Amino acid sequence: MGTPLKNPPVYLTLAQVRFNPILKLADFLPGIQESFRQAGYPDFDRQHLISIQLTAQEGQPPTPTPVQQERFLFGNVENTHTFILDGQSLTLQSTNYGQFETFSACFLDGLSIVNDAVKLAFTERVGLRYLDRVMPQPEESIGQYLVEQVQGLSSRLEGRSLYSYTEAMNEIENIKLLSRVAIQEGPLAFPPDIQPGSMRIIERFASYIGISAILDNDGFVEGREAFSTKAVAHHLDVIHKIIGSAFKTTATRYAFDAWDK
């Protein structure tokens, strides 16, 4: 267990497992909700979503078809941890990350609750994702916090920079890592595929308005495996190490010194 930074820049962390479809998930919901409640997640919400699927037939253009989806949210009293469960996945979102060991254990406890109820057969994807907000102080620049490779062309172009974005996808053995860096002015923002809802964001991230950089490191392993919490724990640990290496590569020594004050 490494020594955590005193003021780490992480403002949202996600862990997710995709598993075999559970079409009768609602039948198991009372027992699942009670187990989450007893585990410290008494807040509950049921959401209905509509997604669009494209169906292609030979010789014809793709046809969009609306598909209804239902998902269930289990949150703690503080609104800092939320489990999101649907018929094919369990996700944990946290705005109070702490350390990897405690976060991972929390997610695995939630996964065990689901497995105890429905008896999962296999997993198809295990992922871990970190969102960090780099916020330079008035006398500082974003360039002091980030290496040149992720700062884009803005510093070499004329005029005032409004937005800069870089993205890289790497494969490390069986792990894929998608790393994004977005630099812009304004309030705290989330990627379009993440919905924090009413989760409580740490004040220093929520109140800061100015130029900042969002580091979005998304690591995952895909492939069908017989369900095993030990296997999921191993994947999360490996992904965490890979993301940690990417984070250290992206930020400067100056940044780490600033986050450790």
Exposure pattern of 232-254 as b/e (b: 16+ CB <10 Å)?
bbebbebbbebbeebbeebbeee
**Count of Cβ atoms closer than 10 Å to residue 114 Cβ:** 22
CA–CA gap between residue 239 and residue 248 (Å, rounded): 14
* Residues in Cβ contact with 230 at an 8 Å cutoff, skipping those fewer than 6 apart: none
Give the global pTM.
0.92
- Mean pLDDT, 10 residues at a time, the chain of 261 residues: 82 98 95 98 90 69 75 97 97 96 98 98 98 95 94 82 92 97 93 91 94 97 97 98 97 96 87
CA–CA gap between residue 103 and residue 194 (Å, rounded): 18
Sheet holding 175-184, edge to edge: 43-55, 63-75, 81-86, 89-94, 10-19, 122-134, 212-226, 175-184, 163-172
Domain ranges (residues) in the chain: 10-259
Tell me the pairing of strands 10-19 and 89-94.
antiparallel
Output the pLDDT for position 46: 94
Output the pLDDT for position 166: 95
CA–CA gap between residue 49 and residue 199 (Å, rounded): 19
Output the pLDDT for position 63: 72
Output the pLDDT for position 1: 46
Residue (of 212, 188, 209) closest to 200 by Cα position: 188
